């Protein structure tokens, strides 16, 4: 799969190019569900330092990581341990129907049970007051 690379310098520049770029971001997310973001304010060294920091964090023992667990905030900030999150494709009936309609060669494999990976989340904005997901 070829992911779209989004260069943020265009968002930081003129407004004329932004509309076209927003269309490209929308298309990429609609077609692939992902994109790569290139931010001219950060270097490859910044990225390597960040990845190293995250790798060192996730190499720590579970007892250490659980100190950053925030269930009272619905795991919307801090660490989420393995086995807590259930993939949306297991609970969203509309998504399940769409997956069944796809040609067999393009259908993704459906995971079984809760996710086995840990994740860490930073707050990006306020928590939505209403959502269709639990």
Q: Does position 134 have pLDDT exceeding 70, yes or no?
A: no
C-alpha to C-alpha distances, 63 to 4, 35, 67, 83, 84, nearest whole angstrom: 38, 34, 7, 15, 16
Q: Does position 125 have pLDDT exceeding 80, yes or no?
A: no
Query: What's the pLDDT tens digit per position in 33-52?
Result: 888 888 888 999 999 999 99
What is the pTM (predicted TM-score) of this model? 0.61
- Given a contact cutoff of 8 angstroms between Cβ atoms, the answer to whether 6 and 36 are in contact is yes
Query: What's the pLDDT tens digit per position in 55-76?
Result: 999 999 999 999 999 999 889 8
Query: What's the pLDDT tens digit per position in 90-113?
Result: 989 999 999 999 999 999 888 889
Q: What confidence score (pLDDT) does residue 130 get?
A: 85
Q: How many CB atoms lie within 10 A of CB 79?
A: 19
Q: Does position 3 have pLDDT exceeding 90, yes or no?
A: no
Q: What confidence score (pLDDT) does residue 69 get?
A: 96
Q: What confidence score (pLDDT) does residue 9 get?
A: 76
Query: What's the pLDDT tens digit per position in 11-36?
Result: 776 677 777 888 888 898 888 888 88
């Amino acid at each position: 799969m070829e992911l779209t690379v989004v260069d943020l310098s265009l968002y930081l520049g003129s407004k004329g190019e932004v509309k076209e770029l927003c269309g490209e971001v929308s298309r990429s997310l609609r077609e692939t569900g992902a994109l790569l973001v290139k931010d001219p304010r950060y270097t490859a060294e910044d990225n390597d330092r960040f990845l190293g920091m995250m790798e060192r964090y996730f190499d720590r023992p579970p007892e250490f990581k659980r100190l950053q667990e925030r269930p009272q905030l619905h795991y919307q900030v801090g660490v989420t341990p393995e086995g807590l999150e259930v993939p949306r494709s297991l609970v969203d009936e509309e998504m399940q129907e769409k997956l069944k309609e796809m040609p067999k060669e393009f259908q993704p494999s459906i995971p079984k049970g809760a996710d086995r990976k840990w994740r860490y989340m930073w707050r990006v904005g306020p928590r939505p007051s209403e959502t269709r997901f639990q």
